[in-house]
Every structure is written in structure tokens, then in C-alpha cells.
A and B are shown apart, each in its own frame.
Chain A
């Protein structure tokens, strides 16, 4: 059963009660929250996500709630908890949903060492996955959103998850976080685009979320084999270009973009080697989205 099968009122009530339990990619997540706007945005963005059956334990129990006392009323704040751990300072309450998204990211890179985790957007077409590893601000989410709107399957706009030396990447299709000008650029693209509310003045500027396509969410248990790795870099005014990269350089760059490459030791090397062995690597510098998409098409065209 999907979250959409529950009414918004039911979702709100469950978030206040025993929690909403979702499968998000490979992860089983319980969520409690006490906020109307959070409930309706979650209901919208996560509508296609499957509910956990009652006999499945969740591995992350997350609460997004308000402190007691003055802060509950005056310049209202919201806190993020993983069980009894509060990894961040509170946020203004209107940012509950982006806070949840960042908090869940934190849970994954802090605890999900059952995977090699690379900070990368991942999309797939015709069974071949394209990884775009990059630091924040390099345009990976924007490229990812545009490719998904063109029909690529979304695996993730944030994490490439690898758990064996088989070159396969596990999906965790979640709402794609768009920042600042990207929000309008993506909204204007042709095609059906569902974007949630815009959250103004977060620590990353304005943020809005593209709802992951139902088909991508439905196929969240289907890994895809890596075939191309493109390291994107957005640079204002730069000439748009894509250049091949040696496998050795690709390996070095991808391991730099990993959260836990060193932590996994020999397994991390084996997992990443399999991905690189299967893939051709490229550096992409761009200042224009359409030009970047055209360049990507030249190197992913099925041969």
C-alpha cells in the first residue's frame, strides 16, 4: 500500500500518533511529526512511497517536533531527532520538511555503512546507470531533475549506494532538492513537473522539491548497472564542454566524493572498482542546462 492511499488527515493523525512508516529506497523509516504543513507536504512528495508492513522493523525512527516552552510559540522552532539523538540545532518551524530531508541524509551517511555511499545523482535509461558525483553547488540536482523529466529513471539525486562488487547501484529515489534559480529553470521545462512548496531562506537559500516520478519509486528495489560516470561542474559563463577522463582519475575523483570509501576498507575498493570497470568517465563543465543535456546525450548514446 502507498502513502497516497491514506488521506491527508489520516497522515497528519498518524504522524502525531504512532508514526508513518515508509520504505524509502532500501531503508525502512518511521516518521513522527507534529506540524500541519509538514504533513501535507510529506503526503504530496512521498505519495508513491510504499508503507512498511507491520511486521517490518524500521531502522531509522525520526521525529520532527517542537521544543516545549517559549519556543513553541515565539519564533517557533523545530527539532530533528533520530531516537534520542539530536544531530542539529533546531530550525525555524516553517522549514520542517527540508529539515527532515537533510536529517534523513544525515542518518544515511552517518549510519548506512552497509553500502559504499557516493555523493552523486544517479539516473538510468535502458538498463544503464549514469552517475554524477559532485560536491554541493555543482549542479548535479538540476541536471538530475532535467534528465528525470526527459524520462530517465531516478535512482537518487544525492546518493549512489553500492553494496557488492557487481557494478550495481541501489536506488533511493526521493524528492529532488532544487535550490535558488534551479527551481524556476526546472519549473519551465516542458513536461509534467510536480514541485512542492518553496521554502525561503534556508541555510542553502530557497529550496523546493521535485516529486519523484511514480515509476521510479515503484522500481526502487531494482538496482541498475553503472555505465557512465560524469563529474559535473556548473560554472557561470564557462564554455560548455565534456571531456573523457581516465579510469584512474575517475576512480580517484569518485572516491573523493564518497562518504565512507575509507571506512569500508578493501570492500570499498572492490565495490568502486567494479563500478569504474563498467563505466566510461567524463568531466563536464557547463553554464547552460540545455547545452549540458546535449553534451551528456553525446556520451550516453547507446552504442
Chain B
């Protein structure tokens, strides 16, 4: 296939939709798969998807390599969780694990071969200062020392500025909400904390399945760049396949609408179905129509999202892919900050770009 084919025809997506597509791929297609899997960091997951297929030796080796690296990160993630438990046991033994940390801790299939990076945890806002003190006293340090950037996080974000462990060099993000404070989503975190479930009695918790799924799409569509986040959509697909029983499906949309998260769920369902052929009951899709955006917005998203999620053309992304990625980056800022702080932030960032840093001065 040509490198300039439509984005939902990317070979990586074909394989994620249907493992049997592996039987039809040409050597050139596989080369594109290697590149797309590297750039989306989905090689380890792809190995799980294709585990029943007869693959050429070079494909087996490439997928094994990616899987091995991801498994190393998963082990590190579990160790980080263990270390953090000890440090904050006195303050918040029931802290909530988010995203990859949660998937790994409860042993979901989607955690296998999934590269894990930062550890994301969430605690109620009123506990976050005590936890910050506890981790700072036990080997974690602030990555961002710049005062303005620190204030940006503390004033506008749903998490503290990132922390890093000085020996293990692992990043820890302490959240008090699943969407930014200034976000247009205006999320009430009360019910989400209340529904969280312990992994084992008295220890860390995870979000309830529906909230875990909602957080995944909020993260994908409202939290930073969409470009290169195919992994989040693959997580979303895997979570739906794992949790999707009758009760889950009938409560999903009502919960999303009640929390004001209908729109990201609408997008998540739409693109998961379109790009990954996620099985979603018709009734769920219909119920989520309540959160459908206006036609021009949807047309824009339909154009931009697939192009931003999937790398378009090697060696350089097509101009179309680069433009969509930038548009979505601006949009994600637009969604999480209101207009005034956004302009102030972007202005400040632009000025700083031209000012010499202290080390260069």
C-alpha cells in the first residue's frame, strides 16, 4: 500500500483491527508496521494482538524486542507503586492509581506489552500538600524549578508539577482531579473519588471501571497533545473489551453525561469504532448522540484525529498530519484553559522562547 493512503488504512491499524490482516501484508507493509509501531510505541501490544498468527521471523523478533522493553517498564512501574506505598502510607494509604499504573496493578491484559512511563496517582485536593511533603522528604525532587512554570501547574492544572525520583529517575505525577481545574469540563470529583475501588483491602485503589474508561478519553481528548496518542485509543479499546458487560454498557453513557464527560466519550467511541473496530452496542452509540458536537466541529475532528493519531508517511509526516497535530494542540489548550489565561500563557511562552536562558546568558 502507498505511504500516502488514508490514515485509517495505516497498516498498524489494519493489524489492530484484525490480526488476520497479517497474512496479507507485503514486506514493504511490514516495514511500515515496524516504523508505525516504533513511533506509537505499540509494538509490545501488537505482539499480544498477533499472538495466534504465523509471523515471519523478522517480525517475531521486532515484536519480541518491543514487548521485552515494555515488560521491563511494567516491572519498573509495579516497583514504583510499591515504593510510593511505603512513603505515603501514613498520609493516604488509599491513593488512587491512574492509567498504566492501574492497569498493571490490577493485572489487565492491556498492561502486557504496554510501555509504561510516568506513574500517575490521584488523591483528594486537601491531601496533596501532605503527600508532596512526604515524597520530597523521601527522594523525589521537582523536575521544574522555574517559578512561572510551577505556578502554571499549581494554578491551572489538575496535577502538581512533575516529580522525579533522584536515584531511579522515574517520574511521578500527583493528581487531584482527572481534568484541569480551569477546564471547560467543570468536573465534580466527589462521585469519582467515592466510586473508586480498593485493589486489596486498605491499600491503593483504582477508579471504578466506567470512570477508568472516562479518564482514558478525557486524557486523550482534553489533556495535551493528541498527536501520537494512538496508545490511549488502544487502551480505551482494550478497556471497553475487558469491562464491556451488560451493566457496564448500560451505565456508561448516563455516568458520562452526569459528570459532564459526554463529549470526550462521544469522540472516544466514534474513533475507537472507526479506527480499531471496537465492538460497541448500538444502544450505547445512540445514547451518546446526546453529546454530539456541531457538524463543523465534528467534520474538523473527523479530518484531524485519525491523521494526528497515526503517523502518516515515512520518513517525514505528510504536511496534512503536521497541520492536524498543531491544530489539535491548540484545541487541547483551548479546552483546558479559559481564553484569558490561555492568551497570557501563550504570550509568556513566546516571550520566553526569545529570551536567553540563564545558562546561556
Q: Does B337 contact A (CB under 8 A)?
A: no
B interface residues, tally (CB under 8 Å): 27
CB of B71 within 8 A of CB of A265, answer yes
CB of A57 within 8 A of CB of B69, answer no
| Contact stretch, chosen from B58-66, B130-138, B210-218, B264-272 | B58-66
CB of A30 within 8 A of CB of B31, answer yes
In angstroms, Cα B31 to Cα A63, docked, is 14
Chain A residues, Cβ within 8 Å of B71 = 265
In angstroms, Cα B26 to Cα A54, docked, is 10
CB of B31 within 8 A of CB of A58, answer yes
Interface string of A38-82 (1 = CB under 8 A from B): 000000000000000011111101010000000000000000010
Q: Does A135 contact B (CB under 8 A)?
A: no
Interface string of A171-196 (1 = CB under 8 A from B): 00000000000000000000000000
Q: Does B27 contact A (CB under 8 A)?
A: yes
Chain A interface bracket (under 10, 10 to 19, 20 to 34, 35 or more) = 20 to 34
Given A84-B315, A85-B38, check contact A114 B64 (CB 8 Å).
yes
CB of A57 within 8 A of CB of B30, answer yes
Given A63-B315, A262-B72, A263-B72, check contact A57 B34 (CB 8 Å).
yes
Given A59-B58, A84-B35, A84-B316, check contact A114 B27 (CB 8 Å).
no
In angstroms, Cα B314 to Cα A85, docked, is 10
Chain A residues, Cβ within 8 Å of B65 = 111-114
Task: Name the distance in Å between A124's Cβ and chain B's nearest Cβ.
Answer: 23
CB of B59 within 8 A of CB of A57, answer yes
Q: Does B68 contact A (CB under 8 A)?
A: yes
Secondary structure call for the A interface: loop
CB of A61 within 8 A of CB of B35, answer yes
Task: Name the distance in Å between B150's Cβ and chain A's nearest Cβ.
Answer: 30
Chain B residues, Cβ within 8 Å of A81 = 315
Interface string of B291-328 (1 = CB under 8 A from A): 00000000000000000000100111100000000000
In angstroms, Cα B228 to Cα A84, docked, is 13
Chain A residues, Cβ within 8 Å of B72 = 262-265
Most buried by B among A26, A30, A59, A63: A59
CB of B62 within 8 A of CB of A59, answer yes
In angstroms, Cα B65 to Cα A26, docked, is 13
Beta-carbon contacts under 8 Å, A241-273 to B = 262-265, 267
CB of A59 within 8 A of CB of B61, answer yes
Task: Name the distance in Å between A280's Cβ and chain B's nearest Cβ.
Answer: 30
In angstroms, Cα B27 to Cα A172, docked, is 23
Q: Does A89 contact B (CB under 8 A)?
A: no
Chain A residues, Cβ within 8 Å of B35 = 61, 83-84
Chain A residues, Cβ within 8 Å of B250 = none
Chain B residues, Cβ within 8 Å of A56 = 27, 56, 58
Chain A residues, Cβ within 8 Å of B61 = 26, 59, 114
CB of B69 within 8 A of CB of A113, answer yes
Q: Does A37 contact B (CB under 8 A)?
A: no
Q: Does B39 contact A (CB under 8 A)?
A: yes
Q: Does A104 contact B (CB under 8 A)?
A: no
Q: Does A4 contact B (CB under 8 A)?
A: no
Interface string of A2-15 (1 = CB under 8 A from B): 00000000000000
CB of A114 within 8 A of CB of B38, answer no
Q: Does A300 contact B (CB under 8 A)?
A: no
In angstroms, Cα B72 to Cα A84, docked, is 25
Task: Name the distance in Å between B72's Cβ and chain A's nearest Cβ.
Answer: 4
Interface string of A205-225 (1 = CB under 8 A from B): 000000000000000000000
In angstroms, Cα B69 to Cα A112, docked, is 10
In angstroms, Cα B68 to Cα A216, docked, is 30
In angstroms, Cα B335 to Cα A56, docked, is 46
Question: Which residue of A is nearest B313, CB measured?
Answer: A84
Interface string of A232-245 (1 = CB under 8 A from B): 00000000000000
Task: Name the distance in Å between B123's Cβ and chain A's nearest Cβ.
Answer: 31
In angstroms, Cα B66 to Cα A263, docked, is 11
Given A264-B68, A265-B72, A265-B75, check contact A114 B31 (CB 8 Å).
no
Chain A residues, Cβ within 8 Å of B69 = 113, 263
Question: Which residue of B is nearest A263, CB measured?
Answer: B72
Q: Does B28 contact A (CB under 8 A)?
A: yes
Chain A residues, Cβ within 8 Å of B34 = 57, 59
CB of A54 within 8 A of CB of B27, answer yes
CB of A85 within 8 A of CB of B31, answer no
Task: Name the distance in Å between B50's Cβ and chain A's nearest Cβ.
Answer: 14
Most buried by B among A57, A58, A85, A111: A57
Chain A residues, Cβ within 8 Å of B58 = 28, 56-57, 59
Task: Name the distance in Å between B208's Cβ and chain A's nearest Cβ.
Answer: 32
In angstroms, Cα B62 to Cα A57, docked, is 11
Task: Name the distance in Å between B307's Cβ and chain A's nearest Cβ.
Answer: 15
CB of B31 within 8 A of CB of A61, answer yes
Chain A residues, Cβ within 8 Å of B29 = 57
Q: List 28 A-B contacts (CB under 8 A).
A: A26-B61, A28-B58, A30-B31, A55-B27, A56-B27, A57-B29, A57-B30, A57-B59, A58-B31, A59-B34, A59-B61, A61-B35, A63-B315, A83-B39, A83-B314, A84-B35, A84-B39, A84-B311, A84-B315, A84-B317, A111-B65, A112-B65, A113-B68, A113-B69, A114-B68, A263-B69, A265-B72, A267-B68
Among all A-B residue pairs, the 3 with the closest Cβ atoms? A57-B30, A57-B27, A113-B65
Chain A contacts to B: CB under 8 angstroms: 26, 28, 30, 54-59, 61, 63, 81, 83-85, 111-114, 262-265, 267
Can you add 18 more A-B contacts, CB < 8 Å, to A84-B35, A265-B71, A265-B72? A30-B31, A54-B27, A55-B27, A56-B56, A57-B31, A57-B34, A57-B59, A59-B61, A84-B311, A84-B315, A85-B38, A113-B65, A113-B66, A113-B69, A114-B62, A114-B64, A264-B72, A267-B68
